[in-house]
A = this chain, B = another copy of it.
Amino acid sequence: MAVTMKDIARNCGLSSGSVSQVIRNPDNPRFSPATRKLILETAARLDYHQNSLSCALRTSKTRLIGLMLPWNEPEVMDNIERIVSENGYKLLIQFTAHPRPGMEQAALQSFLSWNVEGIIWEPSSLENASCLPLLERIHKEKRPLILLERGVNGMDFPLVRTDYTPALNVAVSHLKDQHYRKVVFAVSKSSAPIMKTQCEVVRGACRRMGLAFHTCQLDVASPDLSGQIRHLLSGEKKGDTAYICFSWLALNFIEEMEALGLSAPDDLGLVLYSDLLLGGRYRFSEIVRPKLTVVRSVCSILAESAIRFLLSEIRHDDPRGLPESTHYAELFINQSTKRN
């Protein structure tokens, strides 16, 4: 097996306790320079390396951070990993894209069993009743936990989220300026629950501005997604309607529009909700044609502020600091709704 401190101690004719001291603090004035040199040299010679397990068990410092996301969002994931890594921590990962019941609870439990020093969690949905007792415990033990995007019931953990409200309001007003008369908010069935608030924001904005409003939940998993969309698109009066599509759904709309010979912005408008940064440089809304008007949040900043706050919580037990930090999404107007 691997070289341990005991091995070094034996080689030097010292005790493992002394070895520990010197290795943890090579400039320790408690030991004579000769001893220190001897210990460090034999450590190097034997190719000694710390055993993180025992070290963590002993000190309760694991330098581990648990990250649970509903899917692999590169913009969030990459940033968090980079910063975590720069600070000497390692990431324990769990995605919840394919949720089994109790999965998030189990993952939290597993994080705790590894004694992670902090957790960043973007809950995959709004209801997490099964996680409540666990969260209660996390709260009581003061283990730092940052929630992303969605809070959990009554629990008051720091929440780092994006507020889409202002941008959505501006978007609707923009659509009215462009003489659209009706707005359809399209989401996938699975993401519908977490889009409810935003949906209401748009509904409200439409009412105030005198636009008609509809929601539309599509079954993304169905083989007949095309059919659903085609049906939707072909039933409209030309030029009247603007669609707000959540995430990738916009792509399906574009494809069906091509098939039906419809084009944005004239025959209909298309607004992307939640852009994605791809390959670290390119935005989804910019690489498709037509380029999409988009309500976009900068996830990288969100991620960065979450992880930095987590790290500061870990370092000093500062009870102060942000209880909730909100980033605002912005509207970027592009070809898909810009009528001359």
Contacts and interface: CB of A to CB of B under 8 A. Distances in A.
A82 B110 CA distance: 16
Number of copies: 2
Given A251-B287, A282-B248, A50 B97 contact: no
Contacts of A71: 78, 280
B90 A95 contact: no
Interface in A86-126: 90-95, 97-98, 109-110, 112-115
Interface stretch (A14-22, A52-60, A150-158): A52-60
Contacts of A260: none
A194 interface: no
The prevalent SS among residues of A at the interface is mixed
A248 B283 CA distance: 11
Given A49-B112, A71-B280, A248-B281, 6 more contacts: A51-B113, A53-B114, A82-B98, A85-B95, A278-B284, A288-B289
30 contacts: A2-B112, A2-B141, A47-B137, A49-B112, A50-B113, A52-B110, A52-B113, A52-B114, A52-B115, A53-B53, A53-B62, A53-B115, A54-B57, A71-B78, A72-B74, A72-B77, A78-B97, A81-B93, A82-B95, A82-B97, A82-B98, A85-B94, A90-B94, A91-B93, A97-B280, A251-B287, A276-B278, A287-B288, A288-B289, A289-B289
